[in-house]
Amino acid sequence: MKKRISKLAGRWWLLLLPIAVFVVAGQIGGTTAASQAGEFPAFIPMPGVTPRGVAVDKVGNVYVSASVGSGASEHIKIWKFTPAGDPPFSADTFYADIGQGTIGGLAVTADGDLYIAMAAGVDRGVWRMDREGNIDLLPGSNQIFFANGLAFDERGTLYVTESVSLTIFTPQGKPAGPGSIWRIPRGGEAKLWMRDELLRGTGALGQPVWIGANGIAYYHGNLYVTNTEKGTVMRIPVQKDGSAGVPEVWTTLQEVFESPLAGFPIPVMGDGIALDVHGNLYVAVLTRSAVVRINLLDKSQQTVAAFRFPDYLPLYAPLDFPASLVFGTGKGERTSLFVTNLGMGKGLVPPLPWVGPSLTKIDAGVQGDPLH
């Protein structure tokens, strides 16, 4: 991803140099003051890995998936932090190694089972890890070529985004088929639920595969799904019989003017989604290092947090190409958003004080949708 975006962006980051001279390199502060004793830390650096998915169980344990290695040697590993943020992060303190693959989208159920999406590798599919750390592959899920986002409905049915299918290839041999949604009933087998052109990527990120359907959330009979490379959020009704309704482009992500990346050649692209108790959507805007809220009723977009400088500006948060986000559930954390940072900024816009691979906590001011 990094190599291709650098090509797309060229040297546009040089335009930021006159502004960047006012930034103290490496400074992170502002609204991310240290948490009080016993609270989860506001910021956890995760050097040496690439954080991807994040989930919080009902007692406040925080799970982060991260990729270690690259290509055929890439593994998805899980780190588990207590509600107080223990143990301190190191590359050697991982809780579980799920296997060879990429992405590592996470979801947790009210009973404490953790679900992990594995894409493209030999261990691809959706895995369930119980509270003792035992893992098993959900039946039929290894058919999903590029499992990415995970969401449960109120019945315990799991929906899985497949960012790209193997039905179409580019002249260069890249998978470029339409994105899909797979459905796994409680105790059942994974089945293709829908595949649609609206869920297809464009290749704009220049990855080995096109990235379409990505983040996913369920609210009151509808699935909301980001198409990363098109910068859209889709809405797909779930019919009473469990079948898919007609998908539609629910909204298109708007520019994030608070971000120093606003207006530059990389398009606005969304990744993970979270929901508050009112059904408003919170989207990790990957290419603007920001988190935005989209009002469920009027679809208006508001910036919740963004990487800014100087770091004492309103809305500042240590964000660095955020991938996934989830609301807290434990005591004192119900209005917190936990956000994973891929840490790509330093390679793309060198003058700015990027925070690198990490986990960030943001106060959203409203509670998240309860666990199913």
Domain ranges of the chain: 2-363
Q: How far apart are CA 29 and CA 42, in angstroms?
A: 10
> Is the pLDDT reported for residue 31 higher than 60?
no
pLDDT at 38: 61
Of 7-11, 306-310, 340-344, 349-353, least confident by mean pLDDT is: 7-11
> Is the pLDDT reported for residue 13 higher than 70?
no
Domain 2-363 matching CATH 1.10.3720.10: the answer reads: no
pLDDT at 23: 37
325 near 54, Cβ under 8 Å? yes
pLDDT at 11: 42
Of 9-23, 34-48, 207-221, 303-317, least confident by mean pLDDT is: 9-23
Return the amino acid letter for 57: D
123 near 141, Cβ under 8 Å? no
Tell me the pLDDT band of 17, cut-offs 50, 70 and 90. very low
- For the stretch 93-149, pLDDT in tens is 999 999 999 999 999 999 999 999 999 999 999 999 999 999 999 999 999 999 999
pLDDT at 54: 98
pLDDT at 372: 86
Q: How far apart are CA 233 and CA 243, in angstroms?
A: 20
Q: Give percent above pLDDT 90 in the chain.
A: 85
> Is the pLDDT reported for residue 179 higher than 70?
yes
Tell me the pLDDT band of 319, cut-offs 50, 70 and 90. very high
> Is the pLDDT reported for residue 29 higher than 70?
no
Give the full edge-to-edge strand order of the sheet including 75-81. Answer: 50-56, 62-68, 75-81, 96-100
pLDDT at 316: 97
Taking only Cα atoms into account, the Rg of the chain, rounded to an integer number of angstroms, comes to 19
Tell me the pLDDT band of 2, cut-offs 50, 70 and 90. very low
Q: How far apart are CA 197 and CA 201, in angstroms?
A: 9
Which pTM was predicted? 0.92
